[in-house]
Structure 1
Amino acid sequence: MLKKKSLIGLLTAVSLLGVMLTGCGSTPAADSKEIKIGGNFELTGGVANYGKQTMNGVQLAFKEANAAGGVLGKKIVLVTADNKSEPSEATNAITKLITQDKVSLVMGPVASSNVLATLQVGQDNKIPVITATGTNTKITVDNGKVRPYAFRSCFIDPFQGTVMANFATKTLKAKTAVIFIDNSSDYSKGLAESFEAQFVKDGGTIVGKEAFLQKDQDFKSTLTKIKVMNADTIFIPAYYEEVGKIAKQARELGINVPLIGTDGFDDPKVVEIAGVEALNNTFFSNHYSAQDTDPRIQKFVAAFKAEYGQEPNALAALGYDAALMVIDSIKRANSTDPAKLRDALEQTKDLQVVTGVITMDANHNPIKSGVVIEMKDGKQVFKEKINP
């Protein structure tokens, strides 16, 4: 009888120990001195420059917060995973961050297609996902319903498409346009739709639509077709790798009309790819300008240069802003509980960030301003400010 009781006691103790160990593995320890935030970024692959710039902005904001005493008395740590610029890898990355690294919130990815691939995982695990740069409307609203755990710190595609259509008709005085779209990109497709709708509404005519695929190298055949359309401008909603090659080849074919686009143009590598001359007479919408004399922007630019030895592009600024949103939400929630962070993000109001002031709307999109940038002799020049 004694042996039986001892055996039962031993089994009970082992069982309790198992429960304790399981609990420690599934959630961060209550007395942890760190707040773990996930970073699902494109660190290799086709848009690696975007991912690295955005991550650098996030890390700078967290470093500054930690230097000022941390958040809720704890050090905030960015745990990163490389999605290799691919949607399937983005899904794998967020799964790892949530199930293995036990993060409270996930930042990223950068590209809209990659963000869309992660949202169901965040929803299923009730972990907030905030993208600094994903502009596709479906990221926060799907089939008319707001995704409860999806947020962003950038403006959305319809805003960019509308801005560039208005810029084309009102500033460039364009009456005709060709749309040259990346058929492999949700980002590109959404921008093309909003640009076309506004350009036609403004009285313009879309005289042609052509397409390419990400990682294409030779665009001359299609550009030759576009040239004979004789449009006043060409709208290219795409990323810097393809934009640089398209601009270079378009100018080589004698296409000298304004090439216009969106924030996908914004990377120093575009100048390396296209060459300085090819980018003259090109314009794109963006989230901020490093040439803006606003003291907050200049302070950020100086800090980023000191940390990384280069000028921050808009993605770096947006990453920094998204990190400020996360820090602000943790403070207001007074917690790292994902549900409380979700609620705090949703209630973000009048938050001063580098690119302006952010108030979250009912669709989890920030209400904020933007700018149009002109490329002149390989340099970005502030052109116009756009209010929402």
Structure 2
Amino acid sequence: MKNRRNIAAAALAACLTASALAGCGGRKADEPVIRIGVIEPLTGANGAAGFQEMLGIRYANQVYPTVTIGGETYTVKLVEADNKSDCAEAVNAAGALAGEQVSVALGSYGSDLSMAAGAVFAENGIPAIGCSCTNPQVTEGNDSYFRVCFSDPLQGTAMANYAYQNNAKSAAVITQLGDDYSSGLGGYFKEAFSSLGGQIVYDQQFQAGQTDFRSILTNLQAQNPDIIFAPSSLTAAPLIIRQARELGITAVIAGGDAWENSAVISEAGAAAEGVVLTAAFDESEPANDEAAAFIKGFREYLRAEKQDESIPAVSALGYDAYLAAIKAIEAADSTDPAAICQALSSVVVEGATGTITFNETGDANKNLAFIKVIRDGRFQFLTTSTISR
């Protein structure tokens, strides 16, 4: 794979300097192709984060554009489907990918979207690799679904440990009703924080689409918690943060990995200063040579795409999910989805987020989460939290 990286880099450079970009990436008519499906929310409430995840996958495809099967070189074609941040649309998108005869699928950002699509992938015998979908239910009971990210029990426990170790003895929890990511992560935080001896002094859910949190925050303020854990969507997060500070609430505000998005900072403004969150990747601490190469190359890619050059964890995870797919295809030496699914169980991937192997439920064997803080208008590394498995 390292040799393909050099080949891909040279090809990309030639492509960017060529006068006719439309011809770049073309293939011979008789060159065999293997299709990798990508299901992401490119529009709707999760569109910003889904796009960041997609960028990581697209970049990986430029770095590793081919795979060898049976001694023959296959071009990897990405078949993208927008699930529009909607579970019903996720079912439709997964069905469309099945119709395109993809050999493996990547995604989706949003655990609920992944779960909705997962049933379709399982019915069609298509292995799927989640990038950042952290809810345990994504892989539970679905032998076709794997994921390269940590799960909510780990990151919820990591944040609880961080809070308690930094003198937070009381916590308030705010989660979104009907959101599996939000309610699940909140539950794991509460369980871990209470087991450490901390006290949950306020626990409240809000409705999807809610924009005014002042009533909830006023009631919370009366309990004077040391920390507010409010894992939520990118739509709700800046509103909760800003309205809390407007009410004079000074408690530490914390969220999950979904908050690592520039929209939180840009929309919450100065109120975002000091917010802490869990993350699966930190660009200042490359885990291996692959990670170092990814960081350098992806920044150049983002610059060419006129995107913010900071690297969110979802992009690194998208990159790693693609690498896992390529590794499994090579191990299976086949385009057959069933063979690829079987191969995924035993692959070892050196990715941007570290070494990845999968356990019996398809989850990545990970026990570490980064804790980041928003400081001076950007996400900065604070510490790490390692969880015993």
Q: What TM bracket, shorter-length normalisation?
A: 0.7 to 0.9
Equivalent in the alignment of 1:77:
77
Pairing 1:215–2:209 present: yes
Tell me, in whole angstroms, the C-alpha distance in 2 between the residues paired with 1:136 and 1:32.
Answer: 39
Structure 1 contact 46–215 (Cα < 8 Å) conserved: no
Tell me, in whole angstroms, the C-alpha distance in 1 between the residues paired with 2:260 and 2:286.
Answer: 19
Offset at residue 386 of structure 1 (A): 2.7
Query: 1:174 is matched with which residue: 163, 168, 177?
Result: 168
Structure 2 contact 230–253 (Cα < 8 Å) conserved: yes
- Residue deviations 1:359-388 (CA, integer Å, cap 9, x gap): 111111001232111111211111112334
- One-letter amino acid of the counterpart of residue 126, structure 1: G
Equivalent in the alignment of 1:88:
88
- Residue deviations 1:279-324 (CA, integer Å, cap 9, x gap): 1221111001122255543431221121122222010000001011
- Residue deviations 1:317-368 (CA, integer Å, cap 9, x gap): 000010110011011111110001101111123x211111111111110012
Structure 1 contact 279–377 (Cα < 8 Å) conserved: no
Equivalent in the alignment of 2:118:
119
Q: Secondary structure of 1:60's match? A: helix
Tell me, in whole angstroms, the C-alpha distance in 1 between the residues paired with 2:251 and 2:111.
Answer: 29
Query: 2:262 is matched with which residue: 258, 264, 268?
Result: 268
Structure 2 contact 145–362 (Cα < 8 Å) conserved: yes
Q: Secondary structure of 1:195's match? A: helix
Offset at residue 231 of structure 1 (A): 0.5
Structure 1 contact 373–381 (Cα < 8 Å) conserved: yes
After superposition, residues 305-316 of structure 1 pair within 5 angstroms as 305-309=299-303, 310-316=309-315
Equivalent in the alignment of 2:340:
341
For structure 1, list consecutive stretches of 5 or more residues without a partner in the other structure: 1-30
Equivalent in the alignment of 1:357:
355
After superposition, residues 228-267 of structure 1 pair within 5 angstroms as 228-267=222-261
Structure 1 contact 161–191 (Cα < 8 Å) conserved: yes
The 10-residue stretch of structure 1 (368-377 or 336-345) with the greater mean CA deviation from structure 2: 368-377
- One-letter amino acid of the counterpart of residue 156, structure 2: G
After superposition, residues 51-70 of structure 1 pair within 5 angstroms as 51-66=50-65, 70=67
* Cα-Cα RMSD: 1.4
**TM, length-normalised to structure 2:** 0.87
Q: Secondary structure of 1:106's match? A: strand
Equivalent in the alignment of 2:13:
none
Tell me, in whole angstroms, the C-alpha distance in 1 between the residues paired with 2:285 and 2:134.
Answer: 23
| Residues 240, 71 of structure 1: alpha-carbon distance in 2 compared, 3 angstrom cutoff | farther
Tell me, in whole angstroms, the C-alpha distance in 1 between the residues paired with 2:259 and 2:226.
Answer: 20
- One-letter amino acid of the counterpart of residue 34, structure 1: V
Offset at residue 81 of structure 1 (A): 0.8
The 10-residue stretch of structure 1 (122-131 or 157-166) with the greater mean CA deviation from structure 2: 122-131
For structure 2, list consecutive stretches of 5 or more residues without a partner in the other structure: 1-29, 304-308
- One-letter amino acid of the counterpart of residue 97, structure 1: L
Tell me, in whole angstroms, the C-alpha distance in 2 between the residues paired with 1:55 and 1:192.
Answer: 27
Which protein has the larger Cα radius of gyration, Structure 1 or Structure 2? 1
Structure 1 contact 60–304 (Cα < 8 Å) conserved: yes
Count of paired positions? 348
Tell me, in whole angstroms, the C-alpha distance in 2 between the residues paired with 1:336 and 1:250.
Answer: 52
Tell me, in whole angstroms, the C-alpha distance in 1 between the residues paired with 2:210 and 2:32.
Answer: 47
Structure 1 contact 130–153 (Cα < 8 Å) conserved: yes
Structure 1 contact 41–55 (Cα < 8 Å) conserved: yes
Offset at residue 109 of structure 1 (A): 1.3
Identity of aligned residues (%): 34
After superposition, residues 360-375 of structure 1 pair within 5 angstroms as 360-368=358-366, 369-375=368-374
| Residues 104, 193 of structure 1: alpha-carbon distance in 2 compared, 3 angstrom cutoff | same
After superposition, residues 38-57 of structure 1 pair within 5 angstroms as 38-57=37-56
The 10-residue stretch of structure 1 (330-339 or 208-217) with the greater mean CA deviation from structure 2: 208-217
Structure 1 contact 57–319 (Cα < 8 Å) conserved: yes
Offset at residue 118 of structure 1 (A): 1.1
Tell me, in whole angstroms, the C-alpha distance in 2 between the residues paired with 1:185 and 1:209.
Answer: 15
Tell me, in whole angstroms, the C-alpha distance in 2 between the residues paired with 1:193 and 1:74.
Answer: 45
Equivalent in the alignment of 1:279:
272
**TM, length-normalised to structure 1:** 0.87
Pairing 1:163–2:158 present: yes
Q: Secondary structure of 1:118's match? A: helix
Q: Secondary structure of 1:250's match? A: helix
- One-letter amino acid of the counterpart of residue 107, structure 2: G
Tell me, in whole angstroms, the C-alpha distance in 2 between the residues paired with 1:91 and 1:118.
Answer: 5
Offset at residue 126 of structure 1 (A): 0.8
